A and B are shown apart, each in its own frame.
Chain A
Amino acid sequence: MSASAPIIKIDGISKSFGSFKVLDGLSMQVMPGEKLALIGPSGSGKTTILRILMTLERIDGGHIQIDGEQLYHMERNGQLLPADERHLTRMRQKIGMVFQLFNLFPHKCVMDNVTLAPMLTKGTPRAAAEKRAMELLEMVGMADKAKSMPVQLSGGQKQRVAIARALALSPKIMLFDEVTSALDPELVEEVMNVMRKLAAETDMTMLLVTHEMGFAHDFADRVLFFDRGKIVEEGKPDEIFRHPKQERTQGFLKKIIAAGHRV
């Protein structure tokens, strides 16, 4: 596949929770290596997009292509069939996700949290998995806590471990779902620093859902403003944050600033 083809291609997807239509015919594309920030009010569908990409939620309609392949469909004899578990498993190798509440495995130490998936899903030998885990823990500044249990860590430390855990599978796409929202204010910065470094040093494609506008500004190449399941406005961080064109974007940013967030 050529370098100019999008790595994520979302084509007219819709998703409802009961009678609430979160996404209605949404289309968007992400280029390889792009760092995207998804912003917007609660319930605008940003998190749902990440969860759909991670196959945690199914779509009601539309198509998604990841790295040139259908995510929720399989091509068989020129026909598109719903994806089975094997297809999903193969597609999930391309995607990693970091959650708002970390979702670490509480009964496993930091090291085991990071090495478990590579050993089980890729058959990586323990020694190699641990070597790679130490490199990643080093990168997120958690190497000295490798033997600690999650309960012994602060929120910021847990989240850094969760980032290392997702990276251990070397996905092409990383999804970050409000990764600093559950943290005490003084711990937000340490997680952001790790992610800034990650964004600068890797060519992974990253999608970030956040309410930290200053962070979105530093982190992203492109910012998408969502409202009611639609992309209202998109552009370079400076355009969106300094010179928003749409009224709804302006209103949202004003409210965020009034609430004391740094832009």
Chain B
Amino acid sequence: MTQWSGYFGLILQGALVTIELTLMGSVLALFMAFLAGMGRLSRFFVLRALATAYIEFFRGTSIFVQLFWAYFVLPFIGISLTPLQAGVLALGLNVGAYAAEVVRGAIQSIGREQYEACIALNLGRWQGMRHIILPQALLVMLPTFGNNAIELLKATAVVSLISLTDLTFQAQVVRAQTGNTLVPFSTILILYFILALLISWGVRSLERRMARGLDGVRA
């Protein structure tokens, strides 16, 4: 039994790496999502084109290949990343591309009358966006952002391929050392599931808190 507790410790260390990757990747993804999502709605053609190119490229190519590029190919042009940096970069850029479309869709879902009220009150474009449109759009984005975050969590498993010691990597280590397949892989299955549940709950409670003002009953 003492033997197993050591291996569980190994897997828990992997869980920490997975959580770290998920958090850092999400931050980058969120940043890219707003940058590209709002870029697609820009008045300026160049910004729209750049945003569209980014989104299509990172949605249209495999995250494995993107990760290998970040880790194995970038050094050839003089950019050497640690496995963690490469992982965060690939995950953030990949999921950010999907989330950018969420940002764009949510902003466009806000009714014309809100934009017209902004004009009638003489708010500048950015003032209207920041104070009127985005706060309402954020509520529309949240549920899908939750999905994106869970996708990102699950995608972190690919970093085991560049020797980052995440959950999946540690499970393979345990399997190699013990010869047991069922226990390590069942354990990480449950751990991934718990982490995903935590994200779900977190996003849902955030949603509830933000919707409070818009829902008279709870105000």
Contacts and interface: CB of A to CB of B under 8 A. Distances in A.
Given A103-B116, A149-B216, A151-B216, A89 B136 contact: no
A117 interface: yes
Interface in A137-191: 148-149, 151-152, 165-166, 169
B119 A165 contact: no
A117 B124 CA distance: 10
A101 B116 CA distance: 11
Contacts of B214: 106-107, 149, 151
Contact of A116 (B113, B124, B131): B131
A84 to B, nearest CB: 13
A127 interface: no
The majority secondary structure among interface residues of chain B is helix
A89 B216 contact: no
A149 B113 contact: no
B135 interface: yes
A105 B219 contact: no
B120 A89 contact: no
B135 A99 contact: no
A230 interface: no
Interface in B87-127: 113-114, 116-117, 119-125, 127
Contact of A93 (B113, B119, B122, B215): B122
Contacts of B119: 54-56, 92
Given A149-B213, A149-B216, A151-B214, A103 B117 contact: yes
A117 B219 contact: no
Interface string A41-66: 00000000000001110000000000
A97 interface: yes
B213 to A, nearest CB: 5
A149 B120 CA distance: 21
Interface residues of A, number: 30
Contacts of A151: 214-216, 219
B122 A99 contact: no
Contacts of A109: 213
Contacts of A56: 116, 119-120
A239 to B, nearest CB: 32
A49 B78 CA distance: 62
Contacts of B122: 89, 92-93, 117, 121, 169
B63 interface: no
Contacts of A169: 121-122
B136 A121 contact: no
Contacts of B125: 85
Nearest to B124: A89
Contacts of A108: 213
A117 B214 CA distance: 20
A116 B128 CA distance: 10
B121 A99 contact: no
B132 interface: yes
A101 B215 contact: no
A120 interface: yes
A96 interface: yes
Given A107-B214, A152-B216, A120 B123 contact: yes
A95 B127 CA distance: 19
A99 B115 CA distance: 12
Nearest to A166: B120
A99 B131 contact: no
Interface in B131-168: 131-132, 135-136, 139
Pairs of residues from A and B, 5 with the lowest C-beta to C-beta distance, nearest first:
A117-B121, A103-B117, A152-B216, A151-B216, A97-B120
20 contacts: A54-B119, A56-B120, A92-B119, A92-B120, A92-B122, A93-B122, A96-B120, A96-B121, A99-B113, A103-B117, A106-B214, A107-B139, A107-B213, A108-B213, A116-B131, A117-B121, A117-B122, A121-B121, A121-B123, A149-B216
Given A93-B122, A120-B127, 11 more contacts: A103-B116, A107-B136, A107-B213, A117-B122, A120-B131, A121-B121, A121-B124, A166-B120, A166-B121, A169-B121, A169-B122
